[in-house]
């Protein structure tokens, strides 16, 4: 059973950095699409950074391009989101999501295609 466990959230000032981690007990090699969504208060959840496991291609929402980087480490069964130059508008709850069905990794990501979710990590950015 896929179980995603996240860590790394916290509070930073604008311009600071955080790294989110998402680990699974052993299904990393089965992931076909994995990444991060976020939801700010009063807003819809949006896909922030997605990694297509087969092609290795990443997707980033325009607002984080050049600042966020998604990566995967098979040796640690983990996916990371390095967030640099954080802005107040990045303030949100961040969720790791994964799916293991081949051919279902869309850019931009479709939330409904991800059956596995982490518990969420709060990222607070103060100005």
Output the pLDDT for position 15.
98
What tens digit of pLDDT does each residue of 48-104 get? Answer: 999 998 888 999 999 999 999 999 988 888 999 999 999 999 999 999 999 988 878
Torsion angle of the four alpha carbons 111, 96, 106, 88, in this order, in degrees rounded to the nearest 10: 80
Output the pLDDT for position 28.
62
Output the pLDDT for position 117.
94
pLDDT more than 70, % of the chain: 97
Distance CA 76, CA 46 (A): 26
Q: What is the mean pLDDT of residues 30-42?
A: 92
Instruction: Give 31-90 as a DSSP string.
Output: -SEEEEEEE-TTS--EEEEEEETTT--EEE-GGGTTTEEEEEEGGGTEEEEEE-S--GGG
pLDDT range class, residue 27, cuts 50, 70, 90: low
Output the pLDDT for position 52.
92
């Amino acid at each position: 059973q896929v179980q995603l466990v996240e860590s790394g959230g916290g509070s930073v000032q604008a311009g600071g950095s955080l790294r989110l981690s998402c680990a699974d007990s052993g299904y990393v090699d089965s992931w076909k699409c994995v990444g991060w969504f976020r939801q700010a208060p009063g807003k819809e959840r949006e896909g922030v950074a997605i990694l297509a496991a087969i092609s290795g291609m990443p997707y980033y929402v325009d607002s984080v391009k050049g600042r966020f980087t998604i990566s995967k480490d098979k040796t640690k069964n983990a996916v990371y989101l390095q967030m640099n130059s954080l802005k107040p508008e990045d303030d949100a709850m961040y969720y790791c999501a994964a799916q293991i069905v081949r051919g279902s990794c869309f850019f931009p990501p479709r939330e409904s295609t991800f059956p596995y979710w982490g518990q969420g990590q709060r990222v607070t950015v103060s100005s």
